[in-house]
Structures are given as C-alpha cells and as structure tokens.
Amino acid sequence: MNIPRGLKFICMQNISWRHFDFWLLGAVALLTLFGIVMIRSAIAGNIELVEQNTVQKQIIFALTGFVVIIVVAAVDYKILSALSQPLYVITIIVLALLVFFGGALFGSARWFTLGPILVQPSELAKMVIILVLADFLTRHQDKIHDLRWVARSLALTIGLVIWILLQPDLSTSIVIFVIWFALIWASGLEIKHLLTAVGGGILFLGISLPLMLITYNPEAEGGLIRPYQVGRVINFLFPAEDATHGDLYNVQQALVSIGSGGWLGKGYEAGTQVQLRFLKVRHSDFIFSALSEEFGFVGTVVVMALLFFIILRCLRAARLASDTFGALIAYGVAATVAFQAAVNIGMNLQLLPVTGLPLPFVSYGGSSLLTMLLGIGLVESVILRHKALDF
C-alpha cells in the first residue's frame, strides 16, 4: 500500500476549497476561543491550575486542533472507509492495554502520558466508532430492516465499548452507544423495531421497578438495589435544600452561579461564585455555569445558539454529502456534539444527574477538544467533496 501517494492523489483531486464551510469553522473557532477566555477566568484563584499552565495548554490544543481540521479536511474521507477496520483494531488494542497495564504504568486505566500531556484514547474512540459504524452501515444499509444486522452493528460497538466500560468510564460508553443509536437511526432503523425496543424498555421497567420496590429493604444488603443507589436517585429527584457538602452542594452552587447571572451577567472575571471558587470544577464540567454567571442569560443563549448552529452545519454536511458514508460521518459528529452538549448543559441546569461529560469546544480538556475538532475536520472533508450541483 502506498498511502502517501494515494493521499496525494486524492487530495489533488478537483476539490474546491470554495465549498469549505467557513461558517462552521468560524462558529467552532469562536466557541473554542470563548472557551479559552472562559477557562482563563475560571482558573483565577486556583494556584495549582494556573501553575499547570492550563490556559496555555488549551491554546496549544486548540491551535493543533485547527491544523488537524485543515489536514483532515484535505484528506478525502473516502479512504477512511478502508482505514476504519485497522483503526478499530488498533483502538481496541490500545484500550485493552490501558485496562491491563494502565494502572501500573500511568496510575490510571483512562489515559497515558505523552510527555507533559495526558492522552485519553477513549475520546478518540468516539470518532473511530463513527467511522467504523458509518462504514459498516453504509455497506449493509439495505439489510438494516433485519434486526440481525442491527444486532451485528451493536456487537461491533460493544467490542470497543467493553474496554471503556472496564476503565470504568460510564459516560463515554453511553456517548458511544448514543452514536450507535443515532447512526442506525439515520441508516433507516425500522420504526417498528424502535417502538418494540421502547415498548420492551417500558415493559422491563414496569416489571423490574415494582420488583425492586418490593425487595427493597433499607436495612439489609439484599434486594435488587442497594440503599446507596436509592439514595442517589432520591438525591437527584428530591434534592435537600440545605446540603452543604458533596455532589449536591456542587450542583446547588452551580444553580446559584447560573441564577445570580441575571440578564447580562456579572461581567468577565467578576463572577463571585467563579472567582471565589464556590463553584467547583468550573473550568471543565461546570464551565457552563461559570459563563452563565459572568455573561448572564444573553451570553449563555449566544453560546447555546453557536452550539446549535454548529450542529445544524454538520447536519447540512450530512444532507449534502455525496455518499451515505460521508453523510453518516457528518451525522455522527453532529450527534456527538449534540448529545454531549445536551448532557453537560442539562447537568449544569440540574435537569440531569451529574456526569463527567465536557461541554464541546468550551470545557477544558485536550483530548476532548482535539477529538471534537477532528470531528469538525471530518465534516469539512465531507462537505468539501459533496456533489457540486451548482457548477
């Protein structure tokens, strides 16, 4: 195989950079820049984070990410169809090695260190699974009405997710399942199958919930669910107003941060909840609360609008893509951005339980940002090569 020459050949094909989605790139750049600015404000007062050069690191990741966008956009995504299987295998090997040896070598099964930076392969796995599933579903789209093929795509997903679950990283695993579901939905999952699944789920809950309640005993260790699990659910559903510590305290402080922002916010670097550190993990998981406090309702809606705009531009690429593979890639990226944004914001607004999912493009985190920008690069690659009907 002579990929470099093939790459060159593909790149040199008559693509027109005129089709490059500058609106998408612009929105992404704006949001990433805003994220950096917000991280700078959020880490003020935390000497440790300042000393670790958090802002500088994020800037380097962002710059690298934009180079990645251009490079990936230049590469014809169609060759990724052939590369998806080796990528799948390599990713599984890396993840499996991390599970077995990561704890001993790097102190965690989630990442390995590459010089001063932590690399989190499970982030990259999101893009790999998009490519793998897009390839698989494109080739078998006509058989998607057959549940066995749906099951096969699920098996393919589980083959990768299992290693992430073992880390354990439940939230990334859920994201990957959501990608799987989004892609089989786009590929034409039968409505009756979906309804059956939904019905099955309701039936399952309908039987298991009463069973849980019947066997539930707060005193004993037996039963299908344990008291602490019930406690967590109750905590989320009926939060105690006067809790002063733990997760609940953090979520309460997030609400106070958001609510005290008002229409226009308290101003950049002037949010008391952020600057005086009442808000926890404010540079990553709860950066949405931080920006809500400092920029208020208006600033928050602008950020949400930018995110929505990015999702729409990705979906536009999916619509215009010249083939199903490209469409599913763009659609998969859109679904990833949409799901992560929805979960992260929902958590900040206390509409969803606390999970470790970052806000795309905005939250601090190199692997997450690079992965998202890589995804945008894929979308640009797709839109660059769409059927040019207009000329």
Partner 1 sequence: MNESGILKNRVAGWRIIVFIIAIGLVFALYIVRLLSLQILGFDEYFSRAEENRISEISLSTLRGVIYDRNGIILANNIASYDVVILPANLPDDPGEIQEIYRQLSELIDLPVNLGEVAPETPYVPCVSEHGITQIADYGITSAPFRTVKIVCNIDRTLAMIIQEKAVDWPGVDIEIEPIRDYPTGSLTAAIVGFLGPISQFDESYYRERGFVPNRDKIGYAGIERYFEAILRGKPGKRVVEVDVAGQIVRDIHPPIAPIPGQNITLTIDTRLQEATEAILLGEIGDWNAYFAELRITSGVAIAMNPQTGEILSMVSFPTYENNRMARVIPTYYYEQLLADVRDPLLNHAVGAELPAGSVFKLSTAVGALNEGVVTPEQIIDTPGLITITEKYTPNDPGFEREFVDWNRAGFGQLDFLGGIANSSNVYFYKLGGGYKDEVPDGLGICRLGTYAHAIGYGELPGIELPDAADGTIPDPTWKRINHGENWAIGDTYISSVGQGFVIATPLQVLMSAATIANDGKLMRPTLIHEVTDAEGNVIQSFEPEMKWDITQDPIIDVFDDPTAPGGCEAKLTGDKTTVQPWVVEIIQEGMRLAVTQGTLSIDAVGFQKVDIAAAGKTGTAEYCDEFANEKNLCKPGDWPTHAWTVAYAPYENPEIAVVAFVYNGGEGASVAGPIVRRVIEAYFELKSIDVALGSQ
Residue 139 or 192: the one with the smaller Cβ distance to partner 1 is 139
The answer to whether 364 touches 284, Cβ cutoff 8 Å, is: yes
Cα separation, 383 vs 330, whole angstroms: 9
Residue 64 or 272: the one with the smaller Cβ distance to partner 1 is 272
Which amino acid, residue 8?
K
Cα separation, 304 vs 136, whole angstroms: 33
Residue 64 or 141: the one with the smaller Cβ distance to partner 1 is 141
- Measured from the CB of residue 117, what is the shortest distance to partner 1 in angstroms? 25
- Measured from the CB of residue 139, what is the shortest distance to partner 1 in angstroms? 6
Q: Helix, strand, or coil here: 97?
A: helix
Q: What is the 3-state secondary structure (H, E, C) of 320-364?
A: HCCCHHHHHHHHHHHHHHHHHHHHHHHHHCCCCCCCCCCCCCCCC
Q: Please provide residue 285's backbone torsions phi and psi, each rounded to the nearest 5 degrees.
A: -60, -35
Residue 44 or 160: the one with the smaller Cβ distance to partner 1 is 44
> Token pair 């769409």 is at which residue?
386
Cα separation, 145 vs 192, whole angstroms: 10
Q: Helix, strand, or coil here: 120?
A: coil
Residue 124 or 333: the one with the smaller Cβ distance to partner 1 is 333
Q: Site residues (CB under 8 A) for partner 1?
A: 45, 138-139, 141-142, 182, 185-188, 253, 255-263, 272-273, 276-278, 292-293, 296-297, 300-301, 304, 308, 311-312, 315, 318-328, 331, 334-335, 338, 342, 345-346, 349, 351
- Measured from the CB of residue 44, what is the shortest distance to partner 1 in angstroms? 11
Residue 202 or 270: the one with the smaller Cβ distance to partner 1 is 270
Neighbours of 287 (CB within 10 A): 27
- Measured from the CB of residue 231, what is the shortest distance to partner 1 in angstroms? 22
Cα separation, 330 vs 380, whole angstroms: 9
Residue 175 or 370: the one with the smaller Cβ distance to partner 1 is 175
- Measured from the CB of residue 299, what is the shortest distance to partner 1 in angstroms? 10
Residue 122 or 275: the one with the smaller Cβ distance to partner 1 is 275
Cα separation, 362 vs 337, whole angstroms: 11
Which amino acid, residue 372?
M
- Measured from the CB of residue 180, what is the shortest distance to partner 1 in angstroms? 14
State the sign of the Cα–Cα–Cα–Cα dihedral 327, 328, 331, 336: negative
- Measured from the CB of residue 259, what is the shortest distance to partner 1 in angstroms? 3
Cα separation, 306 vs 376, whole angstroms: 14
The answer to whether 255 touches 288, Cβ cutoff 8 Å, is: no
Please calculate the CA angle 45-50-51 and round it to the nearest 5 degrees: 130
Residue 54 or 257: the one with the smaller Cβ distance to partner 1 is 257
Write out the DSSP string of 173-199: HHHHHHHHHHHHHHHT--HHHHHHHHH
Both ends of the chain: CA-CA distance in Å? 34
- Measured from the CB of residue 188, what is the shortest distance to partner 1 in angstroms? 6
Cα separation, 140 vs 15, whole angstroms: 28
Residue 158 or 352: the one with the smaller Cβ distance to partner 1 is 352
- Measured from the CB of residue 334, what is the shortest distance to partner 1 in angstroms? 8
- Measured from the CB of residue 328, what is the shortest distance to partner 1 in angstroms? 6
